[in-house]
Structure 1
Amino acid sequence: MSLYEELMKANEHYAASFDRSSLTAPPARKLAVVVCMDARLTVEEFLGLRTGDAHIIRNAGGVVTEDALRSLIISHKLLGTREFLVINHTDCGMLTFKDEDLRRRLAEETGADASELEFHAFDDLEANVRAQVQKIKDSPFIADDVVVRGLIYDVKTGRLREVA
């Protein structure tokens, strides 16, 4: 059985006992989280959240890109979120390369122009968290009274540490 077939079979099992149709789009805890896409991060689990509690916005590095900010603005202005978390983590792959090196590699491998691509790699975890928090705070579209915090998740211990 292929991976896709396994996933579809799992969905059939899930749908057979589905009972979340009463959940509403606005998150119950009025929380939005920007976090890395790393498969080791089980955000709902390590934050004690349930389905429907928060908007989880994932990307490589947990970076507040233009698209992540777009999602936060929608979450805040249209769906009522009042608190944001930015969570990065130890042993992150975004610490292992530079944007220019990946652009060069892609150009060499594909022959396509990669000069405009932005990967948002970083070399200082704490500084990155602070920078992402500041991007949110600097947005004129996020109310000043929205609480924004930055944390680092330790993949070895499962603990969160606030840094911003």
Structure 2
Amino acid sequence: MSNAFEDVLSANEKYAERFSLGGLRPAAARGIALVTCMDSRIEPLDMLGLAPGDAKVLRNAGARVTDDTLRALVLAVYLLQVERVLVLPHTRCKMASVDSDDAVHETIHRNYGVDTRSLEFHTNSDQLGALRHDLERIRHHPLLPDTLEVMGAIYDVDTGKVSPMDV
């Protein structure tokens, strides 16, 4: 076995010794699902005053509401007691700093020789426009209830502040 993961496996041994989440219910205790970015500057539970078990956290590049995100939200609403959804992209996001997926494909191909054109990255330099679009995808999805509360906000990676967006 490779040593590439030795650091995280060793850390897990220590974590498992003090593990206290056994028996936690799989439902979202506070009824919230959070769609946010995979950016490592985001600590989704801490920044919203949540604890393990309080929320369902869905992360992807750019905090976009993709078909897979919608699939997970349908499951979360009907099986895991989610009643509200917060879509939370962030400032200085790489996926919001490029004009198109083509630019990302070109950069990866130029720098690494890998053709990624079979993938959609959902880039959009109009972050508020993308947020508006994603909120509408949730609000009008035929499998999600009209009673589902949906909100968008932007997380500032430099201040830790969450600012609700009226979009």
TM-score, normalised relative to structure 1: 0.91
Deviation at 1:104, TM superposition (A): 3.5
- Deviation track 1:77-124 (CA, whole Å, cap 9, x = no partner) reads 111200000001110001222201223444565464x44421100111
* Unaligned stretches of 5+ residues in structure 2: none
* Unaligned stretches of 5+ residues in structure 1: none
SS for the counterpart of 1:43 is coil
Which residue does 1:143 correspond to in 2? 145
In the alignment, structure 1 residue 134 sits paired with structure 2 residue 127: no
Which amino acid in the other structure matches residue 103 of structure 1? Answer: H
Which residue does 1:100 correspond to in 2? 102
Q: Return closer, same or farther for 1:128/1:12 CA change in 2, 3 Å cut-off.
A: same
Give the share of equivalent positions with the same residue, in percent. 36
SS for the counterpart of 2:69 is helix
Deviation at 1:57, TM superposition (A): 0.3
Q: Is the contact between residue 29 and residue 81 of structure 2 (CA under 8 Å) also seen in structure 1?
A: no
Which amino acid in the other structure matches residue 119 of structure 1? Answer: F
Deviation at 1:126, TM superposition (A): 1.4
1:5-154 mapped onto 2 (5 Å cutoff): 5-97=6-98, 98-106=100-108, 109-110=112-113, 112=115, 114-154=116-156
CA distance in 2, matches of 1:107, 1:93: 17
Aligned length: 162
TM-score, normalised relative to structure 2: 0.90
Which amino acid in the other structure matches residue 76 of structure 1? Answer: V
CA distance in 2, matches of 1:52, 1:156: 27
